[in-house]
Amino acid sequence: MVTAGVTVVAHAASLTAARGRSCPRVSATVPGVTHAANSEAAGSGRSQMLSVAVKEVASKGLCCGHGGGARCKFDACVRQVASTGLCYLHGGSKRCKVKGCEMRAKSNGHCWGHGSGTRCEFDACVGQVASKGLCYLHGGSKRCKVKGCEKRAKSNGLCCGHGGGTRCKFDGCERHVLSKGICYGPGGDARCQLRGCG
């Protein structure tokens, strides 16, 4: 195992430039990343590329972890606001009414685990309804038409893995679109401005 600095480069800049906008190249150096694949490359002097999820902007060009978004007004609390100026833990949203449960209430005063939402009509099934009164596993949505595949069909009767859904328009990218015809990786959403945020 070799520890090496890894430079992570997102290809969002080329997309924004193609749209006629000026945008600095999004890059982050992640020092001290240990990866088995680096050992061979370290000896040959080649640089390694690492795919890293990048956090979305909440406000002020920053993700929630770096100060974006509204903060809870409870004394010294730095969590994000859920509602009424308070975070989830300080009363910003209703809790499940089952005694001892700290989960957030979804409907009927209960969390999902204690009975919120509509349940599947299939015998003894507690899954949430997808459509037609049934959960996904009991036929509440269409399955992929590829033989043996149990995944949900997205489009053309196929799941994402077998070609259903919309693909990112960036050359050679096979990820699914998040927004603006682009996946999350290349820049389908705003990114935190803080260097090294992943």
The DSSP-derived string for 45-78 is T---------PBP-BTTB-GGGT-S-B--STT--
Q: What is the pLDDT of residue 20?
A: 38
Neighbours of 34 (CB within 10 A): 11
User: CA 173, CA 167: separation in Å to the nearest integer?
Assistant: 8
Q: What are phi and psi of 38, to 5 degrees?
A: -75, -20
Query: Tokens representing 19?
Result: 């749209």
Q: What is the pLDDT of residue 43?
A: 43
Domain boundaries, the chain: 1-52+189-198, 55-117
Q: What is the pLDDT of residue 185?
A: 60
Average confidence (pLDDT) per 10 residues, the chain, 198 residues: 34 37 35 39 42 55 73 81 78 81 78 77 80 79 85 82 79 72 60 59
With beta carbons less than 8 A apart as the criterion, state whether 88 and 94 touch: no
Q: What is the pLDDT of residue 30?
A: 37
C-alpha closest to that of 59 among 73, 80, 75 = 80
Q: What is the pLDDT of residue 109?
A: 81
Query: Tokens representing 123?
Result: 């015998």
